[in-house]
Amino acid sequence: MSTYAIGDIQGCFNSFERLIEAIQFNPAKDTLWLAGDLVNRGPDSLATLRYCYQHKDSVIAVLGNHDLHLLAVAFGACEYKNKDTFADVLEAPDRDELIHWLRFNPLYHRNKNLGYSMVHAGIYPKWSRKKAKNLAQEVEDIIQGEQLSEFLCNMYGNQPEKWSDSLEGTSRWRFITNCFTRMRLCDDNFAINLSYKGALKDAPTELHPWYTTPNRKSIKDTILIGHWAALNGVTGSEDVIALDTGCVWGNKLSAFCLETSIWTQVNAQE
């Protein structure tokens, strides 16, 4: 029985198929942890979602920013964009089942026994593990409840840039969501920067990866993230593992076995 954590698939289903063959994934006994961004940019978001739905009892996925964007378009809160590649999902006869399954995935997943936490982008450096889990649950309840439309219509934007317990309403939801699904860099005052997406070596000198921000609260787990393909799987931090190795950009799709710490990678097939 093995647990495999896999980075951003982004509709690259052929690569995903090759990877699950390479790890000899057996849904009867193994589990996949998927670090979000299951869809978009790649050519086959529909097949990816269908596989996850078919094997939902053996798949744990957290929501990424592209997954949330699909929900926004599906529920009429945002228009389909020129770069979007999930029209196959929107036009599928099983669309409603797939969208419903996606909507009820978490922002944060933790397995205490394994000692791993998984989010798509990061955990705000001022939050404890308990606080992060509670805030993730707060937004998950919104996404899964009657305020979904209000959430999706106000989800986009880079403000506020710093956390305060006094934040309320859509600003509060947006900040929490941005941390879990979009964050890469912070400054010394814990203000998040959502504009820079490139390699770490070229980042503005006043900014740090969220996980090396001075005085970051320890989560006491190893944290699995996707989202930041430019890291190419290298964080330089012992307690943060980057799973996104840029498959959708022609690089590799990667799986990390939580029990053995063994990596398996396949070259992009698309």
pLDDT digits (tens, 9 = 90+) for 41-86: 999 999 999 999 999 999 999 999 999 999 999 999 999 999 999 9
Kindly report which listed range (195-199, 210-214, 239-243) carries the lowest average pLDDT score: 195-199
Residue 157: which residues within 8 A CB-CB, separation 6 or more? Answer: 174
- Domains of the chain, residue spans: 3-267
Q: For a pLDDT cut of 70, what percent of the chain falls above it?
A: 100
* pTM metric for this prediction: 0.97
Average pLDDT over residues 105-118: 98
Element (H, E) at 149: helix 148-153
Instruction: Report percent pLDDT > 90 for the chain.
Output: 97
27, 55 in Cβ contact below 8 A? yes
Architecture of domain 3-267: 4-Layer Sandwich (3.60)
Read off the pLDDT of residues 157-202 as tens digits, 9 standing for 90 and up.
999 999 999 999 999 999 999 999 999 999 999 999 999 998 888 9
pLDDT at 270: 87
Residue 253 has pLDDT above 90, yes or no: yes
Q: In terms of Cα–Cα distance, which of 186, 252, 256, 219 is closest to 23? A: 256
| Statement: residue 34 has pLDDT above 90 | yes
Distance CA 42, CA 95 (A): 18
* Residue 160: per-residue pLDDT: 98
CB 126 within 8 A of CB 211: no
Taking each helix axis as running N to C, give the angle between helix 95-103 and helix 45-54, from 0 to 180 degrees, rounded to the nearest 10: 70
How high is the mean pLDDT of the chain? Answer: 97
Average pLDDT rounded to a whole number, residues 217-241:
95
Closest CA to 226 of 241, 214, 237: 241
pLDDT of residue 142: 98
- The pLDDT score that the predictor gives to residue 52 is 98
How many other CB atoms sit within 10 Å of the CB of residue 184? Answer: 25
Rounded to an integer, the average pLDDT of 209-213 is: 97
* Whole-number pLDDT of residue 22: 98
